[in-house]
Structure 1
């Protein structure tokens, strides 16, 4: 009886020792990985702060989290080779964890590179067409690449689960009608996704473009793979499917350049002298800091029985500046006419025919 009891005690001791050894080895590996990773990134952070460029700071900040987890996994792999107990546990979860870590690192690298590239595309300058086009392409391709990375990562993680893999294979074998139903249901989303790729290639719109659609005037604030956000002049947001910009007509005021022309119309008396009005318009627009110095024109564009239409044409560097310039000129010209030439305002003339004949 003594020998079987001693054997049972040895087995129980081994069962208790195996998890303990695995936990101790894993703890040491994780602690060593955190220390090594922290030391490396401390040096990288100091080097990045000493440089003038901001791109290296973005890369270091984006890679800190995923590389910490990757370092821990490498340490666990090394420890598992030396500790068989840990190797058995790690073999069960490695196929599930590794795709997630690789996907996270890929996303971090992608976002860091995109943000670093956006720093070179400054849209705050006056002529920012190239910068806006570059930012739009970076945004679209970044989101498409993000979708692909997430899709592949989740697929690899699910394939690592035997139950899910078997279910997936059985569903594929009988996915005829189900595939058609899912395809029909996902058609709008796929259509918008494909439209997003087409927009990145053809560039009908770019970030910060001034557009007019659905009777609303605003700026392209954000471009997603499935929808576009338009910031209306009164701070509202108009959310439009990406396919709209490929299928429906709309106005893009800044397709080729950010510079724009704007008009102010004055309805004056046919007897009004255009010379003084032209001189005053030139004076006001030249004194206004919002004018970009390109275009200033005064033209009589229409005549009617009781009035003439005078168009004041001016230019500005972008749509918000042009709107403010038009308001300034409209207000200034009306005040000048009221103070100096009130007789030039359009008047309605009524002729008393009977009175004129009697007087004759």
Structure 2
């Protein structure tokens, strides 16, 4: 019984799948893989002797050298023209070579030394970190250029026609988009009007470029100066104290660089175009400037907003403010540092993605996590340590903005907590800058950890006959009159030490905050000293000397004298 047609189709399909894939136009040879062709550029004839195509490095170097000399007929032998009719390969090939050379000259700075010098383009990586290490390749990406909103790859591939030796050529897929790329990267209207004698190469650039680049940079600089002046003047027109004024006053520099970058891109895109080395340099520089300017402008906006919020919610901060307000300000500073970190990471990722640093400059080995970790760890150990310590302070909050601390014997207010340092304001308005890592590794007093209250004490040394109860009552009367002294029930005065001639009296008080307490202590000391001087001068410490009668003699003239060497020992005290 014959099988139905659908069943036969299923069986045939299964047989084809089990038989394995159909062989494509590639083969294996002792030199490595390649694409197999029946004929190769039959309309061009035999290639000249100066055409070198055995390795990727030789092929690119040969194409750039021949096109630089204007020998586009010979440079056409570095193109795979098999998709063109044989009778058109000579004329169309030289024209495609000319256009491709112009595109490469202005679109990207290609270095033949970045390509493999092996015929099979095998990746030689002794460390084994490269994913293609030890594998032969037959298709290489030279660069990728944008045109009409699309990305077009320029590739080299290895071909073998018949029994001929394999060669490396620009692929047909690349040649199909050369006219589109030439329209985007070809000579500008200004360059087409430059005399031929100025088109000659002089080093890495052409003769006219050595003159045009300084003029180009001068024009961009004048534009930046104008934008800077206008932005600075605009800040003076805005209302004092407004959010807009604070923001505009801090963005003249980033706005200047953004305007310079935009103007340069417009000129490079429509008025003038330079060689690949200059274009690549300008491209990277403009991307970095644009990203840095926009990131800095965004941070300035965040700073202005946070400052405005701080002024509204908190105002001027010190340790007399409520601890929740100081905690809020500390959190705002931590938020600012987090925004800065995110902005820096975003700008860095954007720059690396735009300039394709790890791909175009051949630094793929440095992109491995292990190498980068070692480099960053060695070079930025101190910086990273301070940054991590800063985030530790932000999370644990052992100190807050406005806290009064005693650090290394100095009384200071915490005025700012930044990524790598802490700014402390001393009582004399001097600023102490301390690395965060050093600050968190040293013990310190936080006099505002719970609240700003602080016990103060003053000590007096008096004669042993002083009336302690009388002094205690006077101290309490004077202390209750001080505005910075609080909780009168905690006022106390005691004799804390004595010797044969003097006693030490200490008075204790609770003060509203440390600096006010220091002032209150000084005032009370002055008032108590005045009380003793005016009403009880006998309380002053004095030295008593005992003299025996037998040592006294009556001198002639009725004067009394004595031998001080025979005097008894005096009782010491504060004179």
What range is the shorter-chain TM-score in? Answer: 0.5 to 0.7
Distance 1:54 1:285, change over 3 A: farther
Distance 1:12 1:72, change over 3 A: closer
Single out whichever of 221-230 and 60-69 deviates more from structure 2.
60-69
Q: Take 2:439 and 2:310, find their aligned partners in 1: how far apart are those partners?
A: 24
**SS of 2:534's equivalent?**
helix
- In 1, the alpha carbon distance for the partners of 2:389 and 2:420 equals 8
Does the CA-based 8 Å contact 2:484-2:520 persist in structure 1? no
Residue 277 of structure 1, CA deviation: 1.6
2:448 maps to which residue?
Answer: 254
5+ residue gaps, structure 1: 1-10, 17-26, 353-360
Q: What CA RMSD, in Å, does the superposition of the two structures yield over aligned residues?
A: 4.8
Instruction: Provide TM-score, normalisation by structure 2.
Output: 0.46
Of 355, 367, 375, the residue aligned with 1:161 is 355
- 2:487 is the alignment partner of 1:299: no
Q: Is the 8 A contact 2:319 2:402 kept in 1?
A: no
Residue aligned with 1:160, SS: helix
Which protein has greater RCO, CA pairs closer than 8 Å, 6+ apart? 1
Segment of structure 1 superposing worse, 111-120 or 317-326: 317-326
| Compared CA separation, residues 68 and 187, structure 1 to 2 (3 A) | closer
- Kept after mapping to 1: 8 A contact 2:190/2:272: no
Q: How far apart, CA to CA, are the structure 1 residues paired with 2:395 and 2:470?
A: 51
Within the candidate set 316, 326, 334, 2:521 is matched to: 326
> Which of 246, 261, 270 is the aligned partner of 1:58?
246
CA deviation vs aligned residue, 1:225-284 (integer Å, no higher than 9, x gap) = 222233444565544332345443321111222333321122334543233323322343
Q: Tell me the equivalent position of 1:310.
A: 505
Check conservation: 1:227, 1:242, Cα contact below 8 A.
yes
- Which is worse superposed, 331-340 or 184-193? 184-193
Equivalent of residue 188 in structure 1, options 375, 382, 399:
382
Pick the aligned partner of 2:538 from 343, 347, 350: 343
Q: Residues 254 and 260 of structure 1 are in contact (CA less than 8 Å); yes or no, is this contact kept in structure 2?
A: no
Quote how far apart the aligned CAs of 1:199 are. 0.7
Of 193, 207, 223, which aligns to 2:417?
A: 223
Report what 1:123 is aligned to.
316
1:104–1:236 distance in 2 versus 1, CA, 3 Å:
closer
1:88-237 equivalences under 5 Å are 95-96=287-288, 98-120=290-312, 121-123=314-316, 127-129=320-322, 130-162=324-356, 166-173=361-368, 176=370, 179-180=373-374, 182-233=376-427, 237=431
Count of residue correspondences: 330
Q: CA deviation at 1:148?
A: 3.8
Separation of aligned partners in 2, 1:308 and 1:341: 15
Which whole-Å CA distance do the structure 2 matches of 1:194 and 1:12 have between them? Answer: 53
Shift of 1:205: 1.3
**Change beyond 3 A, Cα 1:251–1:350:** farther
Pair 1:157–1:269, CA change in 2 (3 A)? same
- 1:213–1:80: structure 2 CA closer, same or farther, 3 Å change rule? closer
Measured after TM superposition, the shift of residue 286 of structure 1 is 4.2
Q: Any conservation in 2 of the 1:144–1:225 contact (CA below 8 Å)?
A: no
In terms of fraction of residues, the more helix-rich structure is 1
2:462 paired residue number: 268
Q: Deviations over 1:114-161 (max 9, x none)?
A: 221221222368831333333333234323432442343244334433
| 1:72/1:221 CA distance change after superposition, 3 Å | closer
Contact kept, 8 Å, 1:66 with 1:108, in 2: the verdict is: no
Q: Tell me how far apart the structure 2 counterparts of residues 135 and 155 of structure 1 sit (CA, whole Å).
A: 30
Aligned-partner Cα distance in 1 for 2:260–2:372: 42
Partners of 1:126 and 1:192 in 2: CA distance: 25
Q: Distance in 1 between matches of 2:372 and 2:191?
A: 53
- Name the SS of the counterpart of 1:122 in structure 2: coil
Instruction: Report how far residue 197 of structure 1 moved.
Output: 0.6
Equivalent pair of 2:318/2:403 in contact (CA under 8 Å): no
Query: Are the counterparts in 2 of residues 123 and 132 from structure 1 also a CA contact under 8 Å?
Result: no
Structure 2 segments unaligned to the other structure (5+ residues): 1-188, 195-218, 274-278, 548-575
C-alpha offsets along residues 29-75 of structure 1, whole Å, 9 cap, x if unaligned? xx9xx99xx89x97x997x63xx973354345446765687688889
Are residues 100 and 305 of structure 1, via their aligned partners in 2, closer, same or farther at CA, if it must alter by over 3 Å?
A: closer
